[in-house]
């Protein structure tokens, strides 16, 4: 994996520090066992009432017709670089609890937990994942017959890291730019909204 670890202020597990979302992919298939491990990682994510509201649509370059169908659901900008990835997925969240048919307001959240499990598993195996909001959800719903009680949430490109020099100039700049995050002081509060937590003043 390219050495692009997060410049964290506090110690992080190596998998968390190394996980990022590059757009350059190597022209190399993902082995079946590794792909199954990614799916298994998502399967074991936590979820509200253990409902496991995630569903995944998967396409690989082993089936060019299916791959092109899924690629066609991405916005044009994302198609430009994601077409190099050997695996594409669309994650879908159930909007209702199976237990009682009531609305599941946590479905999207739980899908996110599953995808982060998958991303960390991928990082541990030398793979990379890039998750995308840039896809046509209505088209995905029509193409795959996604029911009304489920929502396409995220498109995903998966593969081995490639060479950033193969990307367009603007994407290459993004690929090689320093990694940044908001400071903890701006996101961790105590007492009231916007009041930086005193936790951040300790050792």
pLDDT, one tens digit per residue, over 71-112 is 999 999 999 999 999 999 999 999 999 999 999 999 999 999
pLDDT, one tens digit per residue, over 136-189 is 999 999 999 999 999 999 999 999 999 999 999 989 998 988 999 999 999 999
Which SS3 state, helix, strand or coil, does residue 120 take?
helix
pTM to 2 decimal places: 0.94
pLDDT, one tens digit per residue, over 176-195 is 889 999 999 999 999 999 99
pLDDT at 203 over 60: no
Torsion of CA 13, 17, 22, 26, to 10 degrees: -50
* Domains within the chain, CATH numbers bracketed: 14-163 (3.40.109.10)
- Asked if residue 184 lies in contact with residue 200, where contact means CB atoms within 8 angstroms, the answer is yes
Give the integer Cα–Cα distance in Å for 145 and 132: 20
What's the whole-number mean pLDDT along residues 29-35?
98
pLDDT at 114 over 90: yes
Closest CA to 116 of 171, 181, 42: 42
């Amino acid at each position: 994996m390219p050495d692009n670890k997060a410049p964290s202020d506090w110690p992080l597990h190596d998998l968390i520090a190394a996980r990022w979302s590059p757009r350059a992919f190597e022209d190399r298939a993902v082995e079946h066992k590794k792909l199954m491990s990614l799916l298994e990682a998502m399967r074991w994510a936590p979820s509200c009432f253990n409902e496991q509201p995630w569903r995944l649509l998967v396409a690989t370059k082993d089936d060019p017709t299916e791959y092109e169908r899924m690629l066609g659901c991405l916005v044009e900008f994302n198609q430009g670089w994601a077409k190099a990835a050997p695996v594409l997925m669309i994650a879908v969240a159930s909007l209702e609890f199976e237990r009682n048919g009531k609305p599941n307001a946590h479905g999207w959240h739980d899908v996110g937990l599953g995808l982060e499990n998958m991303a960390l598993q991928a990082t541990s195996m030398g793979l990379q994942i890039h998750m995308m909001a840039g896809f046509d959800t209505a088209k995905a719903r029509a193409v795959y017959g996604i029911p009304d009680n489920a929502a396409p949430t995220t498109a995903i490109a998966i593969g081995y890291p490639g060479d950033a020099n193969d990307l367009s100039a603007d994407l290459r700049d993004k690929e090689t730019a320093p990694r940044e995050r908001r400071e903890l002081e701006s996101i961790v509060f105590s007492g009231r909204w916007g009041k930086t937590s005193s936790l951040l003043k300790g050792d």
